[in-house]
Structure 1
Amino acid sequence: MNRVYRYILPEVGSQLSSWREAASAIPDPELKKQAIASMTSKRFHCEGGAVYAAANLPQRHILIPLIVALQTISDYLDNLCDRSTSLDEADFRRLHQAMLDAVDPAASLHDYYAFHGEKDDGGYLDRLVKTCQSCICMLPSYAFVQEQVTEWVRLYCDLQVYKHIRLDLREAKLLEWWERYRPQYPELLWNEFAAATGSTLGVFNLFLASSDKFLTEDAVQRIRTAYFPYLCSLHILLDYLIDMDEDKRGGDLNFCSYYSGPEETEARIGMIADEARRRVGALDHPRFHRMVIEGLLALYLSDPKVKNQRKVKKISRRLMRNSPLTRLFFWINSLWIRRMNSDPADSEIKISLERNG
């Protein structure tokens, strides 16, 4: 955490300031609004992802810009799809081609807004993609992880497409998609697999791994088994858990709503957390990855949204029972980081966004 406070958070802040400045120059007002909003309300996504750079400080000049740029693409596109009126599968798939291009240093840029109503971002999305590609070119062992990175990013893009199309088609499309993968993950429910595909943590860990010039194929395989589906599923299920009431009011799909009730929700998330802890034991430096798991539980279960949702608060208390000291430490740390991020600059941006619709 000394590394995180001394190096990671300040450098993430610097990267986000640069991207926010670029977003402020976007000509189209709607694209500008969503680009700025994605960095305001979802800043912690970049901060959390960049923790992986703390495990290899000498390579943070590559890892932090790469992780921040890819996560910023993810959050920006998520905002565009959430706020889109087209509900067009072709539109969402073309927008998310940017994610696939970003993790392929040899890829050419596409017209990402070809099917989108708003188009003129002044080159903002292209610049994000090129930043990822240039950083990846500096990773000495990226060739070992590229195939796996591409597979996880493709699954991520599939999820974003299917969960944003017309409400009456979403669940059927997701279940049809799940049937192709069910034989590989018979121990999971469909919503838990879908949740796993929505996490970028496995990709960020592969970026970290590929910063080691001595990386082996065996190490990559162990990362794959450890992170997908359990650790990645835990990440997104916790994210959906704290948004249950909000998503219900907005009519948005929420993977935790498919459990029969609080008891099953707590039992399934607890099982997934336990299996994630067991599997990361096979990785190099397992304590680091266990720290990630405990950090996820602390970050999400300490979120202010929890206390305003009776059922979620009950589930949170059950999941936090018998917490190890590491998780309690991160609980306190999460509260501190939120206080740090409640700065006047962010407040002014939020007010400006509200005034402009």
Structure 2
Amino acid sequence: MAKAFAYTTSGLTLLAKFVREVFPLVDQELSVWQRFATNHGVRELADQALASINTKKFHCQGGSVYSLYKGVPTRDFVRLVVALQTISDYLDNLCDRAGIADEAAFRQLHLAMTDALDPDKPLNDYYAAYPFQDDGGYLSRLVTTCRQEIAKLPAYHLVKAAALGQATLYSELQTYKHLAPSVREEKMLTWINRHLPDYPGIMPWEFAAATGSTLGMFMLCAAAYNPTLTAREADTIASAYFPWINGLHILLDYFIDEAEDRLTGDLNFVSYYEGSQDTLTRLSYFVQQARIQANTLPESDFALTVIDGLLAMYLSDPKTDPPAERAIRDSLLRTAGLYPRFMYGLCRLLRKKNIL
């Protein structure tokens, strides 16, 4: 009971600091990139940059929880999270919202993700295969900002391979998932099946979901602030996040978007489940596995709070209010425990106040 109380208390303290201190820092960082995009580059690229900031701010807010990890300088880490997540969101818009479906162009664009995490490499020409190319230096500056913050991490050499590995998988996912519907599923399954034997216990589209999260990259970078981090700890973090915590993150994201994606024809990994009961079973399984993995990590209370936060943030979205989604939401919350249900209620309140 004492352990549970300490975990709950630390989680509430973290949540209060997150909203009071971190959210304003995220706003400050995003305003820098918003001004830059407004004043630089051709209109087509500037419009997509601004749209990604305006509609996907919550991605930066969520990822910035890692700025509260033990030993991490909050302001510096928010800068890293916002820059890396803004790369991700901007490239997603370029691949998904600009009427382009070119595999070579998508692959070249996403070199920015791996370049951002690999300060030893020269920068690439990210727009070499893309129809619009003059962004006024926006994407390169985002990459360089990430590198500047990564240079401050004393143990980055221990997490670099895992962070780059996750960034590479993320980039491969984005390259394939935005292709024309007539070819994307076959291309994705060919790619997934090359990796799936290494991850027993998960389904093909669950693997794809796990590759779509940036949380593992953020956690590895946060851990690298610890100068006494060991290689074993770095490996434990990497395997906890991929596929389990990463997978839970993106499966929840796709769960709340499933009805919307069905109407628009967008690819949705949760749609591959065989009905509501299968969806509930697999989401519950990922929650369970994520919690098991969290308990193996340094600062396990922090990891458990992140998992509870994912449940609260996604399940509090109004998209879970229709009857079918509500039944799954309520079942997940019933089994999650008292504290996640409290966080869920708080997130509903923050949404009403337009803070989330």
TM-score, structure 1 length as denominator?
A: 0.92
Among residues 167, 176, 180, which one is paired with 1:166 in the alignment?
A: 180
User: Which residue in 2 is equivalent to 1:225?
Assistant: 239
User: Which residue in 2 is equivalent to 1:331?
Assistant: 344
Instruction: Give the distance between the partners of 1:342 and 1:203, measured in 2 at CA.
Output: 25
Instruction: Give the distance between the partners of 1:46 and 1:108, measured in 2 at CA.
Output: 26
Instruction: Give the distance between the partners of 2:324 and 2:169, measured in 1 at CA.
Output: 31
Q: Once the 2 structures are TM-superposed, how far is the Cα of residue 111 of structure 1 from its aligned partner? A: 1.4
Among residues 118, 137, 150, which one is paired with 1:123 in the alignment?
A: 137
SS in 2 for 1:284: coil
User: Which residue in 2 is equivalent to 1:312?
Assistant: 325
Instruction: Give the distance between the partners of 2:24 and 2:355, measured in 1 at CA.
Output: 15
The Cα offsets for residues 155-195 of structure 1, whole Å up to 9 and x where unpaired, read as 00000011011211111111111111121112110010000
Query: 1:48 and 2:62 equivalent?
Result: yes
Instruction: Give the distance between the partners of 1:121 and 1:340, measured in 2 at CA.
Output: 35
Q: Which amino acid aligns with 1:201?
A: L
Residues 218 and 342 of structure 1: CA distance in aligned 2, closer, same or farther (over 3 Å): closer
Confirm or deny: 8 A CA contact 1:291 1:326 kept in the other structure.
no
Q: Once the 2 structures are TM-superposed, how far is the Cα of residue 6 of structure 1 from its aligned partner? A: 3.3
SS in 2 for 1:84: coil
Q: What does residue range 203-282 of structure 1 map to in structure 2 within 5 Å?
A: 203-282=217-296
Confirm or deny: 8 A CA contact 2:40 2:136 kept in the other structure.
yes
Instruction: Give the distance between the partners of 2:355 and 2:44, measured in 1 at CA.
Output: 25
User: Which residue in 1 is equivalent to 2:108?
Assistant: 94
Confirm or deny: 8 A CA contact 1:277 1:293 kept in the other structure.
yes
Among residues 311, 317, 327, which one is paired with 1:297 in the alignment?
A: 311
Instruction: Give the distance between the partners of 1:47 and 1:144, measured in 2 at CA.
Output: 26
Q: Once the 2 structures are TM-superposed, how far is the Cα of residue 336 of structure 1 from its aligned partner? A: 3.6
How many residues of Structure 1 are paired with residues of Structure 2 in the alignment?
342
The Cα offsets for residues 44-101 of structure 1, whole Å up to 9 and x where unpaired, read as 1111101011123652232111111000000010011111323110000011011111
Runs (5+) with no aligned partner, structure 2? 1-14
TM-score, structure 2 length as denominator?
A: 0.93
Confirm or deny: 8 A CA contact 1:23 1:32 kept in the other structure.
yes
Instruction: Give the distance between the partners of 1:339 and 1:124, measured in 2 at CA.
Output: 33
Structure 1's consecutive aligned runs of 4 or more residues displaced over 3 angstroms after TM superposition are 339-343
Q: Which amino acid aligns with 2:269?
A: F
Instruction: Give the distance between the partners of 2:121 and 2:349, measured in 1 at CA.
Output: 41
Q: Which amino acid aligns with 1:316?
A: R
Greater Cα shift, 69-78 or 24-33: 24-33
User: Which residue in 1 is equivalent to 2:4?
Assistant: none
Q: CA RMSD in A?
A: 1.5
Q: Percent identity?
A: 45
Confirm or deny: 8 A CA contact 1:62 1:138 kept in the other structure.
no
Instruction: Give the distance between the partners of 1:342 and 1:5, measured in 2 at CA.
Output: 8
Confirm or deny: 8 A CA contact 1:31 1:121 kept in the other structure.
yes
Confirm or deny: 8 A CA contact 2:22 2:78 kept in the other structure.
yes
Instruction: Give the distance between the partners of 1:201 and 1:240, measured in 2 at CA.
Output: 16
Runs (5+) with no aligned partner, structure 1? 344-357
